[in-house]
Amino acid sequence: MRVLLLGPNGQLGHDIRSAHEEAGEPFELLPLARDRLDVSVSGAVERVLDEFAFDALVNCTSYHKTDEVEDNATLAFAVNAHAVHAMARACAAKRARFFHVSTDYVFGGDVTRAQPLREEDPPSPVNVYGASKAMGETLARRTCEDAVILRVSSLFGVAGPSGKSENFVDTIIRLGQEKEVLRVVDDQVMSPTTAVDVARLVLRMLMDGCAPDLYHVVNTGSASWFEFAREIVRRAGIHTTVAPCTSAEYPTRAVRPRYSVLDNGKVSAAFGPMPPWQDALERYLSTKANVTSQIVPTVSSKKTRLITFADRYFLMTTDQAPPSEIAEWLRDPLFAAYVLKHRLR
């Protein structure tokens, strides 16, 4: 089986490649990054995909800078809808499976909602990003009869989101080092989800098969952004206060869903229970900390010079690490959290 992967360098694409490697590379995986296929360019999808023979296409591309998208609707619909339509046409022509990653932001219009959203609930986006993703879902399913739509939510992964400097977990850890009090919205509730769990499920779907359908692929449970941030700080061992605030106190260019918790019952019934988001968070932090503990046995000796950490630094040894270099290391939020948690000075 030959699988094309679009968006291989983002959070989910990175973890799909890692999961594929961990599984022993059970099929041929061909990553197509933006330098080979820019999905925002009209006609590029048809032209490039026509060059390849493939059995499945996994699309992790998306224009997902939610606030920026509000003022760039044309680009949003080009990437999140029209390019998806072209991918679906290519898959239909080649009789290939089409795995398309969507979002919980296709919901939000039901302001009284308080129960997890199921796949059959009608989309009701409240911002341009959500509307463009909803259209992409519709075009994919109407064009390719073997389309699998995977809705995810509030992803955090080791690679960080494409086009953004850090994910929410990393942001909270960084800000927790800088501020005594963090104010985080408590009236937006979602499903925190680690990219690695989604990636592993995508691999199982590819290898074991699944019915063409909509699936909510999220970790189990829900949290407001305030509750999520509070748990991040607690588990990372950061000494800061996380305080709740309302969306009105923290206005953004784009409206966010008040409630977009996804019910993962369908995918859990087919492939087994999805782990709780708290477990996913712990594994994410442990993965980062384990990398650090392996390469930073001590900082106080100043004999270990950290050049890279968590895919961004390498290790060297030196007789002395200048204070300026230590300060540079501490700018990395996860390294700083590790230092605080283990009292390395």
Active site residues: 129
Residue pair 5/60 in contact by the 8 Å Cβ criterion: yes
Alpha carbon separation from 29 to 9, 84, 91, 213 (Å, rounded): 14, 20, 16, 23
310: phi > 0 → left, psi -120 to 50 → alpha, else beta; which? left
Show contacts of 161-169: CB within 8 Å, 24+ apart.
Answer: 161/10, 161/11, 161/64, 162/7, 162/9, 162/10, 162/11, 163/64, 163/65, 164/65, 166/333, 167/11, 168/225, 168/228, 168/229, 169/232, 169/281, 169/284, 169/285
Residue pair 295/329 in contact by the 8 Å Cβ criterion: no
Residue pair 344/338 in contact by the 8 Å Cβ criterion: yes
Fill in the DSSP letter of residue 165: S
Distance (Å, rounded) from C-alpha 130 to C-alpha 88? 19
Distance (Å, rounded) from C-alpha 144 to C-alpha 287? 38
